[in-house]
A and B are shown apart, each in its own frame.
Chain A
Amino acid sequence: MVQRILLVSLALVAVGAPRAWAQQRQITGRVTNATSGEPVGRANVSVQGTAITAVTSDQGEFSLAGPEGAATLVVRHIGFRRREVNVPASQGRVEVTLDPDVFNLEAVVVTGLATGVERRNAGNAVAAVSSAELGFVPTPSLEQQLQGKVAGADIQQNGGAPGGGLQVRLRGVTSINATAEPLYVVDGVIVSDVAIPSNQNAVTAAAGGSNPSLNQDAQVNRIADLNPSDFESIEILRGAAAGAIYGQKASNGVVIIKTKRGQAGAPQVGFTQRFGFFDRSNEVGSRVFRDTTDAFGAFAPRVPRDTATRRLIRGLCNLPNGACPFFDLENQLAGLKPLSFESGASISGGTENTQYFASGTVKDDGGIIQNTGFKRQGLRVNLDQRLGSRVRASLNTSYMHTLAQRGLSNNDNTGTSFYVVLSATPSFVNLGRVPGDTFARNPFVPSNPVQTAALMKNNEDVYRFIGGANLQWDAVQSGGHYLRFITLGGADYFNQDNALFFPPELQFEPNDGLPGTSLLSNTGSLNLNLNASAVHTYTPSSNAFSATTSLGIQYGWRRLNISRITSRNLTAGQENVDAGTNIVIGPERREKIKDLGFFAQEEFLARDQRLLLTAGIRADQSSLNADPNKLHYFPKASASYRFLKPASFVDELKIRGAYGESGNEPFYGQKFTSLRATSKIGGLPGTVTGDTTGAPDLGPEREREFEGGFDATLWGGRGNLEVTGYQKNVSDLLLPRQLEPTKGVNVLVANGGKLRTRGLEVTLGLIPVQQSDLSWIFRTTFALSRSVITDLAGLPSFRAGGFGASLGQFRVEEGASSTQIVGNDTLTAADVASTTYDYLKAADTTGTVVVRKIGDANPDFRMAFTNDFRWKHFDLHVLLDWQHGGSILNLTKLLYDFGQVTEDYGVALRDTVVFPTSDTTADTLRTVGQKRIYGFGKVAKNFVESATFLKLREITLTYTLPPSAMTSFWRGARYVRLSASGRNLFTIAPFTGLDPEVSNFGNQPIARNIDVTPFPPSRSFWFSIDVGF
């Protein structure tokens, strides 16, 4: 049947093709920029209703053979709004001016794996960021470029370490336990964003404490490998309504990246050179000790008398009258401002049949701590080739190497992590180098972080190749039928080497009796995908509607192997892992995943392109599900309608609504009930019970999302407003049922339970001033979301992150906010008197310690403000990012309190009797630090702080050389720009820790906002020169 239609269509081509070129006349014209008056080269000019097109020259001139009689020209260029111009039969030349597309309204947005629709028609809220909005200030990683630019995308850095490690959370909470990262698709290839811990845990033993998570290694999620300056556009599908086409992998949203491509024309070359530096942007501070008496009070109280410590303190506090010196330990550790640079070059161009784009980049970001930093070298070649009139092939390849050196941060249990040591070292101890170029020994903790940083190594080398080939065959293109076959194959391979080295001379190294530690981990990751789609569009000659049908299949294969070696007691301090006497191989992990998806979709565009109806379905099977051959279905549907000029100030109003479903896969291995084979005793291998088991019907989580809203273009394109509300109902959550330990299995992973996330997103763009030499563009985004656990499938509430009730922890609880933080709290008289207090039991009295809600990590709302000013040849870009509300668990402060070195530890209490209980220590509390310590285990909210912040994310001042000045000394130059820029130049936050963007456990579906001695944050300053010719 299909074949017959095809044959008929082919016949139509044969008959219909020559007719279009029957009668002709010449139309010439010139296209210019409406604001600057400069010519617009490479603009696409077409005659509406025909296949006739032309491309403007660099001078903006075009010429085409148009039909006899009146015609309508449609002029388009990326970065400009489209323009339709009527050309009467009598007119042969037209002047067309194009308005800059400030709000990116002309983008074509994704509707399927091989289909797209113009943004003005889209049935979903669109979040598209064009290359013009990227790259104002260089960043190591793509996510940072998006911060503050997309409503509903909460993008936060997990710590200050150089080289990435950020979480992109789209539309609030989507899961409790499954993956938290969106799906990344680059030129159609699904790429890996896995975060592989470095195994620094072998030294820090962070997982040896009350939370066994190995994700405390300040790991980098691998999207950091990609070079953001190669991107042409980024489109973000925030929820299931838009992302359903990616089925089982899409419930955290999808980030679709298109890289730059060549265009026919003379070669265009661009060079960018940037220089800059990083600078520590915040500090915890440390308590100032007045004199020996002050220090004795903290470290050697009268009873029991501790003569040794007193003698030690007298030796350190050796200024006149026993005054203590003050050393800025944070500055000793993290006071570097190393020169950093980024060099990039690109060339693009091509002929009618062949286009190319190639780029290379070298980046070197220095770190504020010795032996830290981030380097990237990358190379990209994109080729497009036309093979005959109907077949187009394209090839995208990129190769990159990144080296991240991230020091030693986050939680530890061995006194090794930089800030953990600082939290127990009073400020009168000098940790800097002492004469003879050796390092001071820390008498308070057997570890000197300045020495550690100077001598250790934590290198993460990644070599990565991403490549894809795309073949499109326009099988039929006639009589209103357009049938395309598209196949795409892609591969993403990377090899990650983590080499960590802690030489024996480090002060902490002898602690375990095995001086010297060398760690080596190797990861190989391969993602292969193969898509095949057929897309058929039918537009009747009446132009009454157009219907696009697509069918396709997507096959995926993933492999991830991680092997590790830990070597201790290194012979002669040799770094090779075979130099140790205590060598542990493993754990080794191997993952293989196979999946297959089918999709079908129908799009119907009618009513003069004002009405768009879409319906589609995706079916997925995967080896991650308990039944790998069962298909899981994910439907979607959307509708939109455009009203033209509904009010005098409204150019266009689009009402839209969409529904979609998507999934979140179980992790590899969750479905298995296994034994552990790693238990050896006396040289004999043994198998023991595993910790977890999977339900026999384990499958993906399911997100059902409704979204609705409107987009309005206002005041002749000077304003743009988008408002979207959404509700996500996530069911079949992958819940680890914490079994009672007496079962002997800790956790059963099963689908069950529901959560609901609702939110509102507003994007507003205004052009208050638009003149040829003065313009002001203002953009703002606003987003809020609220998530609640509506059903826990009968499970009791459980910890979703954190260390325990005494330290505050995330607790998932039916009916409560998904991101609530609970902790120990002591009942006050008012609590006991309250009748509404549901934790209260008859036995509870004032002073009883209970566990209750002490915070919520979810911010009240987020806003960002972008202002772009242009005055003559100067451009000023300012982006402010504001988060309001939310809680952070500041456990760094707790550690400092335990060390009695918190900056405010010694501040006198106004009310000395804090807990009027029978406890005799209560009335001896004199300082705020003592009060917090006294509250340890009793008042966990002492360590809950506000996550509110306002950051100056980006500021850039650019001077573009006027063409006259430029060409006077270099005729071939297209542009020369000089700019000075800065990132995160200031942060205003009530938070007393380092940075309110923080996550000790890396990317997390729920439990971000836990601060345990992270890497300190930095700001960066840059000076750049961009040259194009």
Chain B
Amino acid sequence: MRTRRVAIAAGLLVLAGCDFNILNTNQPRLDDLLSNPTRGKLTAAATGVMSSARTGMVPFIWRLGSMGREGINLSGNNQPDYAEPFFGPVQGGGSFGGTLWLDRYQSIRTANIYLQALANNTSLSGPDRLSDAERAASRGMANTYKALALLYVVETRAQLGAPVEVDRAIEQAPAPWVTEDSVYGYIIGLLNSAQADLTVAGSTAFPFRIPPGLADFATPTAFLKFNRALAAKANVLRATALNGCGGNPASCYTAALSDLGQTFLSTAPADFQSGAYLDFSTDPGDQTNDLSEPLDGSTWFALTSNIADADAQANGSKDQRVLTKIDTAEVVQRLGGIAIPGELKFTVYFSNGAADAGHPIPIIKDEELLLLRAEANWFSSIPNKGQAITDLNLVRQNSGLLLPTTVTPASSDAAFVTALLYERRYSLLWEQGARWIDARRFGLLATIPAAVTGGNVPEVMPVPAPECDARNLKPKTIGDIITCTPLNP
């Protein structure tokens, strides 16, 4: 009898444990999104696409800003943060040189997952099924963000190239590596495909909400202006890429002018700061803009050369942009490892005179469009150098409160580039690494002083070590970077 009880008890135990499957208790399931892409899940996935565009952009700005000697990270606890950009070597396996990569490709994967779920949505019916126009609008948004992610990638790796066809299964071989020019070509292709989708969608409402930073682009028609702004930028950057634009840079500049015609470009100084922004917030679960530090903060500092290099206004004071974007640090930060004291702070991301971790960061703004137009007009196949100087002065006189430039249509290209890069440096200060990217684009890295004895301005960010490992490529030292070269193994 007792035996039987024991046997029954044991049997019950076995039965109780029949199915041991426990679904993920912490996160939404990918297979669930793909197999049952309801409207609600797609909305969250679309928001994720827009959200992921910010991830890693704070490091993007300070890392590029350090290489371009706009600022420096003096927190002092991760030495490569100042050692690599100022002294080199910038290492693909390091905590400085190996970054600004994964976040962008995760953003692309997030968009690809969303696009897949969107395609699978056609198998649903009823209110959960999106209309064709809604799907087109959604595709237009996702492909625009994919293009943006690749733009940020190619800006850092430049002539080293990058993979673009990355929508592959985990077990598949690594994506092929393509040249800088091909990356730009791919970006423009994505943007054009998005343009077609957005045009189809027209005035249909997006089946998701647009975050505040894109408030000006809240319908597919309006979003198209953001899309074209990125296309214009991609074309301009492509023109100065290695063998850019298939060896015919002028044609890319011409294309950029055509794109600019469909953007939100405005010559009104009041509109200079309007455009598309990455949102940040101190709300729980959101991302903060950590670049916004109080004046007694100890991490990011502006270099004094920002003031020294600035032109003077007629009244003798410095370029207005320097005055509004830089202030004196309340506590001077000194590190043993580097002879640059932290004496100046950026106030670019201040709100009402104080640090604001919820301050947005521009993706592309009107002021930049004007400078893109100036560059494109100067160099396009049918140059309009007068318009180029007009746009340059528009920014110079309104943002910097400076006297007009001395460059004339008769000036050399070099003189124009110097003038253009000056305006870009101060108009886009601490926003997107413009000084470093521009100096490289025009072969002028040598004009950026090293700022430290024995220092060096790196040319590009290296290929991250895991990419080299996956392709069995050994890193080597090239100039001041340690990288593998997938294009030229």
A positions within 8 Å CB-CB of B = 2-3, 6, 208-210, 298-299, 301, 304, 306, 308-309, 411-415, 420, 424, 444-446, 473, 475, 485, 510-513, 530, 532, 534, 553, 555, 582-586, 588-596, 621-623, 628-629, 669, 672-691, 693, 738-746, 748, 796-798, 803-807, 824, 841, 843, 848-849, 851, 894-895, 897-901, 919-921, 933, 936-937
| Most chain B CB atoms below 10 A, which of A298, A674, A686, A803 | A686
Contacts of A513 in B (CB 8 A): 292-294, 297, 354-355, 357
B13 x A803 contact (CB < 8 A):
no
A210 x B54 contact (CB < 8 A):
no
Q: Which of B93-101, B405-413, B415-423, B425-433 contacts A (4 or more CB under 8 A)?
A: B93-101
Contacts of B52 in A (CB 8 A): 679, 686, 688-689
Give 8 CB contacts A-B under 8 Å.
A304-B339, A414-B77, A677-B27, A684-B47, A687-B28, A894-B79, A919-B454, A936-B337
A672 x B44 contact (CB < 8 A):
no
Contacts of A807 in B (CB 8 A): 79
B336 x A299 contact (CB < 8 A):
yes
- 8 Å CB contacts to A: which residues of B143-193? 162-163, 166, 168, 170, 174-175
Nearest 3 A/B pairs, CB to CB = A744-B109, A210-B95, A686-B47
Contacts of B41 in A (CB 8 A): 687
CA distance A420 to B211 in the complex (A): 40
B51 x A742 contact (CB < 8 A):
no
What's the nearest-Cβ distance from chain B to residue A208, in Å? 8
B95 x A742 contact (CB < 8 A):
no
Nearest to A554 among chain B residues (CB) is B13
CA distance A513 to B54 in the complex (A): 22
A299-B336, A485-B6, A623-B22 known; A898+B79 contact, CB < 8 A: yes
Which residue in A306, A675, A746 is a CB contact (below 8 Å) of B33? A675
CA distance A622 to B20 in the complex (A): 7
Which residue in B76, B296, B355 is a CB contact (below 8 Å) of A445? B76
CA distance A744 to B2 in the complex (A): 59
Which residue in A209, A301, A849 is a CB contact (below 8 Å) of B77? A209
B336 x A424 contact (CB < 8 A):
yes
Nearest to B29 among chain A residues (CB) is A674
Scoring B residues 310 to 337 as 1 if CB is less than 8 Å from chain A, else 0, what string do you get? 0000000000000000000001111111
Contacts of A688 in B (CB 8 A): 48-49, 51-52, 55, 106-107, 110
What's the nearest-Cβ distance from chain B to residue A995, in Å? 22
Give the bracket for the number of chain B residues in contact with chain A.
35 or more
CA distance A593 to B23 in the complex (A): 10
Contacts of B78 in A (CB 8 A): 208-210, 413
- 8 Å CB contacts to A: which residues of B46-82? 46-52, 54-55, 75-80
A680-B286, A743-B109, A744-B110 known; A628+B21 contact, CB < 8 A: yes
A510-B296, A511-B298 known; A745+B25 contact, CB < 8 A: no
A684 x B211 contact (CB < 8 A):
yes
A553-B14, A686-B50, A738-B469 known; A413+B94 contact, CB < 8 A: no
Please give 20 more A-B residue pairs, beta carbons under 8 A apart, in addition to A555-B16, A682-B212.
Answer: A209-B77, A306-B341, A446-B298, A473-B2, A513-B297, A532-B13, A583-B284, A586-B284, A589-B26, A622-B20, A629-B20, A673-B31, A680-B283, A680-B286, A693-B170, A745-B170, A746-B106, A895-B77, A919-B454, A937-B83
What's the nearest-Cβ distance from chain B to residue A941, in Å? 16
B296 x A841 contact (CB < 8 A):
no
Contacts of B20 in A (CB 8 A): 594-596, 621-623, 628-629
What's the nearest-Cβ distance from chain B to residue A669, in Å? 6
Does chain A have a CB within 8 A of B35? no
Q: How many contacting A-B pairs (Cβ < 8 A)?
A: 317
What's the nearest-Cβ distance from chain A to residue B483, in Å? 12
B76 x A937 contact (CB < 8 A):
no
A679-B52, A680-B51, A744-B110 known; A553+B13 contact, CB < 8 A: yes
Contacts of A412 in B (CB 8 A): 77
What's the nearest-Cβ distance from chain B to residue A593, in Å? 7
B positions within 8 Å CB-CB of A = 2-4, 6, 9-10, 13-14, 16-22, 24-31, 33, 41, 44-52, 54-55, 75-80, 83-84, 87, 89, 91, 93-95, 101-102, 105-110, 112-113, 162-163, 166, 168, 170, 174-175, 208-209, 211-213, 279, 281-287, 292-294, 296-299, 331-337, 339, 341, 354-355, 357, 453-454, 464, 466-467, 469-472, 474, 476-477, 482
What's the nearest-Cβ distance from chain A to residue B61, in Å? 16
CA distance A444 to B332 in the complex (A): 9
A690 x B27 contact (CB < 8 A):
yes
Nearest to B102 among chain A residues (CB) is A741
B334 x A444 contact (CB < 8 A):
yes
CA distance A309 to B342 in the complex (A): 12
Nearest to B9 among chain A residues (CB) is A532
Nearest to B113 among chain A residues (CB) is A689
Contacts of A739 in B (CB 8 A): 170, 466, 470
B44 x A301 contact (CB < 8 A):
no
What's the nearest-Cβ distance from chain A to residue B96, in Å? 8
CA distance A699 to B84 in the complex (A): 41
B105 x A743 contact (CB < 8 A):
yes
B80 x A687 contact (CB < 8 A):
no
Name A's interface SS.
mixed
CA distance A679 to B30 in the complex (A): 15
Nearest to A851 among chain B residues (CB) is B93
CA distance A591 to B293 in the complex (A): 37
CA distance A444 to B24 in the complex (A): 48
A796 x B469 contact (CB < 8 A):
yes
A309 x B334 contact (CB < 8 A):
yes
B297 x A675 contact (CB < 8 A):
no
| Most chain B CB atoms below 10 A, which of A210, A593, A675, A900 | A675
Nearest to B96 among chain A residues (CB) is A210
Nearest to A592 among chain B residues (CB) is B22
Which residue in B76, B168, B297, B453 is a CB contact (below 8 Å) of A898? B76
CA distance A435 to B282 in the complex (A): 39
CA distance A309 to B482 in the complex (A): 35
What's the nearest-Cβ distance from chain B to residue A389, in Å? 15
Nearest to B22 among chain A residues (CB) is A623
CA distance A513 to B33 in the complex (A): 39
CA distance A512 to B355 in the complex (A): 9
A690-B27, A741-B105, A936-B79 known; A586+B297 contact, CB < 8 A: no
CA distance A414 to B44 in the complex (A): 34
CA distance A414 to B297 in the complex (A): 10
| Most chain A CB atoms below 10 A, which of B28, B55, B175 | B28
Contacts of B113 in A (CB 8 A): 675, 689
A585 x B284 contact (CB < 8 A):
yes
CA distance A51 to B447 in the complex (A): 98
A686 x B294 contact (CB < 8 A):
no
CA distance A742 to B102 in the complex (A): 7
Nearest to A740 among chain B residues (CB) is B470
What's the nearest-Cβ distance from chain A to residue B362, in Å? 16
Contacts of B44 in A (CB 8 A): 677, 685-687
Contacts of B454 in A (CB 8 A): 919-921
What's the nearest-Cβ distance from chain A to residue B54, in Å? 7
What's the nearest-Cβ distance from chain A to residue B130, in Å? 17
B170 x A681 contact (CB < 8 A):
no
Which residue in A6, A678, A899 is a CB contact (below 8 Å) of B336? A899
A593-B22, A689-B106 known; A415+B298 contact, CB < 8 A: yes
A674 x B28 contact (CB < 8 A):
yes
A743 x B168 contact (CB < 8 A):
yes
CA distance A794 to B172 in the complex (A): 14
Nearest to B339 among chain A residues (CB) is A301
A511-B296, A675-B29, A743-B109 known; A682+B279 contact, CB < 8 A: yes
Nearest to A839 among chain B residues (CB) is B474
CA distance A677 to B287 in the complex (A): 13
CA distance A742 to B149 in the complex (A): 11
Contacts of A693 in B (CB 8 A): 170
CA distance A738 to B281 in the complex (A): 31
Contacts of B281 in A (CB 8 A): 680-683
B168 x A677 contact (CB < 8 A):
no
